Structure 1
Amino acid sequence: MGAADGDTELPGFARLWTAFMSARLLIAAAILGLHVAVHFWVRPLPLWILGLCTGYLAMTVLARTLATPQGPGRSFDRQWVYTAGLDLVFFVVLQANQVGSINYVPLVALPVLMSAVMGSRALALGTAALVTLTLLAHSLWNNDIGWAGTGEIAQAGLAGGGMLILALLTNQLSARLAREEVAARRSRIEAHVQSLVNGMVIDAMDDGVLVVDTDYMVRSANPAARLMLGSDREVTPDQFALDDNPAWLQLAHIARQTFEDEPVDAMEVTLHHEDRHSSRLQVRTQRTPTVSDSGRCLCVMFMQDLREMEAQLRTEKLAGMGRMSAAVAHEIRNPLAAISQANALLEEDLTDPALLRLTTMVRQNADRLGHIVEDVLDVVRAQGPADPHAATDTLELDALVHRFCGEWIAQHGAGARVQLHLGMPELPVVFSPEHLRRILVNLLDNAARYATHQAGAIQVSTHPVRHGPAMLMVWSNGPPLEPSVRRHLFEPFFSSESRSSGLGLFICRELCERHGASIGYERTERAQGSVAVDGNEFFLSLRRAPGAFVTTFLDSAPPT
């Protein structure tokens, strides 16, 4: 009848308590209605009996509306007095002043059940014992306190014994149900906490996770998966269909294959987005067991960004080579300096043109070797610990790109050969200005090496991806790269030219990764004058500065 052992209120107990209070109210109304009917249509009854029934009905109404459940298990509290105790007294008084042949003894089971369900075992047995003693006393009273009418006394004793057994069994069942409800609540809390932990772990994963049903609806997607799909919560709802975007149809095909055949193990797909560059993903799937009631199952799709996987693999492979290259570069530097100095001294004393040509060759190749040494050391510096000041620099991308490109155009006399299409004024990104200059100069040098000399042959553009990164592109109308070259484009010491060290693009990629950015290559089409021309495009995906989410240019697109 009250909370015990510090337990909090149980929803199941509250519902049961409400049911008992409602049953008491209905019984009180029925008893009052019965006595009123007897009084008016059979024979008049004493007014105090009608008043007693009315008062009992009023007490049940007050208990139902004002009293509150306090939890099971307490041995005794005041609620017992105006619930089970009041019922017991009321039913005994009615039985003692029996109207006609109406028997009120079965009603005393209500307070016994109420005490057994909502009280302790002692309270339940005590209430049943009190009922038993009351029934025996009533039987003795009806037989003038003699030993006559033993049948009625035996019947009262059997009824009391039944009440004791009923109270004991009901209390045991109620206690067991209460323990199971507490255990179920704890299990639900633990399951909820575990679900929250799993959600946090999945949200923090670098791999994308999609949960797809048989209707190809995405039930759940972690942030990494949304980034790979090119969607976000502000535009795409929590649940969406894979056929909502043409770029996701390959994933819908993989889900269909998983449902119809077997789970997919490491399939490579390319998602072509409208406002950003394509994503190369490796996808594997698992199918959940079929639910017997609905006959449906789910497809759990794990996606990995191949560019990030390849970058991580290259980093691991090149870590040892970087240390060795640094040691070799330092060892070469000193004798190379001696060779260059000796050649310069020798060149001062020579007059023979043939010998001067030889010293010139020595100087040129020494300079070339010196540049290679510097490039190798640059690689080591790029792979080293990130500079905390450079990593947190915030710069206005368009302003710096305009300045660096202007310097490069003036130095190389490019003129109209280079065109700028800058679409992010005052949009800050996180990058180092010096590293951005080195990357941009390297990309422009490469573009100038293969592009034509027509106007707009080289185009530098910027634009933001909606709710995504800032993009910087360097496009040129040079011939397409061979597949063998594209596969090793960002690897160190790989070049299609014999006089190149093959470290330029590799250093660009390493510098990008230091700032949380990425670099890639695609063959794209741009407008050169009034003609659409295919060309080579290197694109940088840069992190926006915190809070740099503007709305003016969100829908801007790269020039076509």
Structure 2
Amino acid sequence: MLCLYSRRGIDPGKPRLPPAIATDAGDADSALRRELHFYTLYRLLEAMMLVLVLFGPVADMLGPPRHELLAPTVALSYLVMAVLLFVFGRRGDLRVATLAGISTDLLFGLLAIHAVPAAGTGIALMLMFNVGAAALLLPARYGLGAALVAVAGIIGEYAWTALIDETDRMVAEPLMFAVAYLALATLTSILGRQMRASYDLAERRGVETAHLTEVNELIIRRLRTGVLLVDGHNRVRLANEAATLLLGDAGDGHRDLGVALPELARRLAAWRQDGKADETPLQVAPDQPEIVPRFTRLLAGSDQTLVFLDDTSLVSRRAESMTLATLGRFSASLAHEIRNPLAAINYAVQLLEESDDVATADRRLLEIIRQQGVRMNGIVENVLGLARREPAKPEYVELAGFVRHFVDDYRAGHPLENDTLRASAERPQIAALVDPRQLHQVLTVLVHNALTYGRMPGEPARVTVHVELDGHQQPLIDVIDRGPGIAEGVARQLFRPFFTTSGHGTGLGLYIARELCRANQASLDFVPLPAGGSCFRVRLSGVGVRKGGGTTFDPN
């Protein structure tokens, strides 16, 4: 089942395809009320026939009734009740309406059998439908109860008649009617239970189908691959959000694919003709990314075609991610092999520096070896960090205090000389959900870069780590420097792996920092400052803002 999202003028008047087919919660009740309607119609027919028997041309054929006053009173009263039940009986509770109907039928029916003995057998036969209908519409115990009341009534009427008056009816007749009432009530009660169970099952299946349709629609709508539905006349019927974003102004207000995207329409026509798709990248507009179209029929034999528009930038990022994963595994193996000889070199240099036999001129060479060994060890750590990608273990972190401790630890472990590094916070306490170990690693990379590159020539670096809340109450950590800033062309590539403007860097620091942020459901972005300098912003998931003695939790 395909449900797409139409917007930006692409066939806005068409419904989503196909509409969800779901059973309403009241379908079972509606079906039973339909049966109740026929039941009330039958009761009205019974009452009219009884009146016709007493007041019509066939009255002379039946002979005089047993009770001259009772017979017409019963017939007319039954007709009035039948009319009232037909008009008002279907508006209230289904069970109450059915119980009122069967009670009326049994009362007036048994009285009519007693008042008009010549028509008693026919009336008893007609009551069989009433008993069956009641058992069908009511729960089993009520339906069988109505049948038992009918059995008791028909036998009781026969016994009463036999006691006070002579009758030519045989005892087998009421007994046969009693068996018929019970058998019919049992059968229709089973059928009614099965019918209600079927409607309940259909209702559940309908709700499940509706939910699956909503999930399917959400998935299709949120797909990062653009999806178009094009009919046999090249009219764009539906498009999801990604497709409208890729089409841009080309699809705005145009339902004809040949008008909106002539090149895509040409490729579609060629695919329909020979079944071969041209998969070379296509750029629909100068400001839009290139796309690769793929075509498939919606259904076998259908003239409607699904067009998938793959964003080449997404494909490139996937390929880059796979390449980096492979490279990371290879680099990790290589880094482990480098670490052992590197440790031996560093240990040997340390021993030589402690020796008194080394000349002063040679100590400078040892210092160079030690520095390069430290640098190489840093490269190995970066490569291993790229390969590990350890999962985040988030916990509640109070950011203002965390940043203050981080700055103190960094100062203690990294002599700053004339440089300055300070922490600031908009509020005394701001909470976030993050892995503190990985956040520490991210801030170490950002602060190191700011102290290294964020300085004006000949001036000390001034770096601030600032914590605040944005307009949506999400915590932000800004690492701000007062350096020369970063050129726009360089800023676009800052987070690409192995990109660096320095001859001493690996180009992995910012890439690993962003990956660590993503692992914590956070983001890392470069924010240029109008007054000069640079800002790297970490946007975290907020959990609360502590004010005074309590905590106000952030709904985001």
TM range (shorter): 0.5 to 0.7
Work out the CA distance in 2 between the residues paired with 1:425 and 1:298.
55
Work out the CA distance in 2 between the residues paired with 1:554 and 1:536.
31
For residue 430 of structure 2, what is the aligned residue in structure 1? Answer: 427
Answering whether residue 508 of structure 2 is matched by residue 489 of structure 1, we say no
Conservation of the 8 A alpha-carbon contact between 1:450 and 1:479:
no
Of 377, 400, 403, 1:401 maps to: 403
Are residues 268 and 12 of structure 1, via their aligned partners in 2, closer, same or farther at CA, if it must alter by over 3 Å?
farther
Conservation of the 8 A alpha-carbon contact between 1:466 and 1:554:
no
Answering whether residue 440 of structure 2 is matched by residue 440 of structure 1, we say no
RCO greater where, 1 or 2, for CA within 8 Å and sep 6 or more? 2
Deviation at 1:324, TM superposition (A): 1.3
Q: Which runs of 5+ in 2 are unaligned?
A: 1-26, 58-66, 137-143, 145-167, 169-189, 230-237, 258-263, 269-278, 300-304
Work out the CA distance in 1 between the residues paired with 2:430 and 2:112.
82
Work out the CA distance in 2 between the residues paired with 1:319 and 1:547.
39
Of 541, 544, 548, 1:543 maps to: 541
Deviation at 1:478, TM superposition (A): 1.4
Answering whether residue 344 of structure 2 is matched by residue 335 of structure 1, we say yes
Answering whether residue 416 of structure 2 is matched by residue 411 of structure 1, we say yes
Deviation at 1:344, TM superposition (A): 2.6
**Counterpart residue type for residue 205 of structure 2:** E
Work out the CA distance in 1 between the residues paired with 2:335 and 2:472.
41
Answering whether residue 520 of structure 2 is matched by residue 515 of structure 1, we say yes
**Counterpart residue type for residue 537 of structure 2:** F
Deviation at 1:440, TM superposition (A): 1.8
Work out the CA distance in 2 between the residues paired with 1:526 and 1:192.
53
Of 363, 369, 380, 1:373 maps to: 380
Are residues 501 and 516 of structure 1, via their aligned partners in 2, closer, same or farther at CA, if it must alter by over 3 Å?
same
Please list, as runs of the form range in 1=range in 2, the aligned pairs for 1:264-303 lying within 5 A after superposition: none
Answering whether residue 65 of structure 2 is matched by residue 56 of structure 1, we say no
Deviation at 1:468, TM superposition (A): 7.4
Q: Matched residue of 1:473: which SS?
A: strand
Please list, as runs of the form range in 1=range in 2, the aligned pairs for 1:187-206 lying within 5 A after superposition: 187-197=202-212, 199=214
Deviation at 1:84, TM superposition (A): 7.7
Conservation of the 8 A alpha-carbon contact between 1:490 and 1:509:
no
For residue 138 of structure 1, what is the aligned residue in structure 2? Answer: none
Conservation of the 8 A alpha-carbon contact between 1:329 and 1:377:
no
Work out the CA distance in 2 between the residues paired with 1:393 and 1:82.
71
Deviation at 1:36, TM superposition (A): 11
Conservation of the 8 A alpha-carbon contact between 2:328 and 2:386:
no
For residue 479 of structure 1, what is the aligned residue in structure 2? Answer: 486
Write out per-residue CA displacement over residues 294-326 of structure 1, whole angstroms, 9 at most, x where no aligned residue. xxx999999999699689546633442353144
Deviation at 1:12, TM superposition (A): 1.2
Conservation of the 8 A alpha-carbon contact between 2:332 and 2:383:
no
Are residues 48 and 503 of structure 1, via their aligned partners in 2, closer, same or farther at CA, if it must alter by over 3 Å?
closer
**Counterpart residue type for residue 73 of structure 2:** G
Write out per-residue CA displacement over residues 95-125 of structure 1, whole angstroms, 9 at most, x where no aligned residue. 969xxxxxxx9x99976876787779xx9xx
For residue 503 of structure 1, what is the aligned residue in structure 2? Answer: 508
Work out the CA distance in 2 between the residues paired with 1:446 and 1:401.
17
**Counterpart residue type for residue 396 of structure 2:** T
Deviation at 1:401, TM superposition (A): 2.4
Conservation of the 8 A alpha-carbon contact between 2:397 and 2:432:
yes
Work out the CA distance in 1 between the residues paired with 2:376 and 2:436.
28
Write out per-residue CA displacement over residues 439-462 of structure 1, whole angstroms, 9 at most, x where no aligned residue. 223212212333344899755444
Please list, as runs of the form range in 1=range in 2, the aligned pairs for 1:66-77 lying within 5 A after superposition: none
Work out the CA distance in 2 between the residues paired with 1:376 and 1:478.
27
Q: Matched residue of 1:471: which SS?
A: strand
**Counterpart residue type for residue 83 of structure 1:** D
Write out per-residue CA displacement over residues 404-444 of structure 1, whole angstroms, 9 at most, x where no aligned residue. 346657835444xx786634542211234444333223212
Are residues 367 and 458 of structure 1, via their aligned partners in 2, closer, same or farther at CA, if it must alter by over 3 Å?
closer
Of 361, 366, 371, 2:368 maps to: 361
Work out the CA distance in 2 between the residues paired with 1:179 and 1:398.
66
Conservation of the 8 A alpha-carbon contact between 1:211 and 1:299:
yes
Work out the CA distance in 2 between the residues paired with 1:25 and 1:92.
20
Are residues 369 and 249 of structure 1, via their aligned partners in 2, closer, same or farther at CA, if it must alter by over 3 Å?
closer
Identity of aligned residues (%): 17
Q: Matched residue of 2:416: which SS?
A: helix
Answering whether residue 357 of structure 2 is matched by residue 349 of structure 1, we say yes
Conservation of the 8 A alpha-carbon contact between 2:524 and 2:539:
yes
Please list, as runs of the form range in 1=range in 2, the aligned pairs for 1:64-213 lying within 5 A after superposition: 64=89, 83=105, 90=112, 186-197=201-212, 199=214
Work out the CA distance in 2 between the residues paired with 1:187 and 1:54.
43
Q: Matched residue of 2:502: which SS?
A: coil
Work out the CA distance in 1 between the residues paired with 2:191 and 2:322.
58
Deviation at 1:396, TM superposition (A): 1.3
Conservation of the 8 A alpha-carbon contact between 2:479 and 2:535:
yes
Q: Which runs of 5+ in 1 are unaligned?
A: 1-7, 39-44, 98-104, 124-144, 146-174, 230-241, 243-247, 270-279, 291-296, 556-560
Are residues 281 and 114 of structure 1, via their aligned partners in 2, closer, same or farther at CA, if it must alter by over 3 Å?
farther
Are residues 211 and 490 of structure 1, via their aligned partners in 2, closer, same or farther at CA, if it must alter by over 3 Å?
closer
Write out per-residue CA displacement over residues 44-102 of structure 1, whole angstroms, 9 at most, x where no aligned residue. x9543442234424764689599955999xxxx998786389559849977969xxxxx
Answering whether residue 33 of structure 2 is matched by residue 14 of structure 1, we say yes
For residue 139 of structure 1, what is the aligned residue in structure 2? Answer: none
For residue 171 of structure 1, what is the aligned residue in structure 2? Answer: none
Q: Matched residue of 2:201: which SS?
A: helix
For residue 320 of structure 1, what is the aligned residue in structure 2? Answer: 329
Work out the CA distance in 2 between the residues paired with 1:435 and 1:301.
37
Work out the CA distance in 1 between the residues paired with 2:318 and 2:221.
11
**Counterpart residue type for residue 443 of structure 1:** L
Are residues 337 and 471 of structure 1, via their aligned partners in 2, closer, same or farther at CA, if it must alter by over 3 Å?
same
Work out the CA distance in 2 between the residues paired with 1:461 and 1:282.
41
Q: Matched residue of 1:544: which SS?
A: strand
Write out per-residue CA displacement over residues 517-556 of structure 1, whole angstroms, 9 at most, x where no aligned residue. 33233xx44353xxxx4x544222323348999879999x
Q: Matched residue of 1:411: which SS?
A: coil
Conservation of the 8 A alpha-carbon contact between 2:406 and 2:440:
yes
Write out per-residue CA displacement over residues 197-234 of structure 1, whole angstroms, 9 at most, x where no aligned residue. 56568879996589999xxxx99x9xxx9xxx9xxxxx
Write out per-residue CA displacement over residues 235-281 of structure 1, whole angstroms, 9 at most, x where no aligned residue. xxxxxxx9xxxxx9878758748954279999999xxxxxxxxxx99
**Counterpart residue type for residue 351 of structure 1:** A
Work out the CA distance in 2 between the residues paired with 1:361 and 1:462.
39
Q: Matched residue of 2:537: which SS?
A: strand
Are residues 364 and 451 of structure 1, via their aligned partners in 2, closer, same or farther at CA, if it must alter by over 3 Å?
closer
Q: Tell me the matched-pair count.
A: 429
Deviation at 1:349, TM superposition (A): 1.6
Q: What TM-score, normalized by structure 2, do the two folds share?
A: 0.53
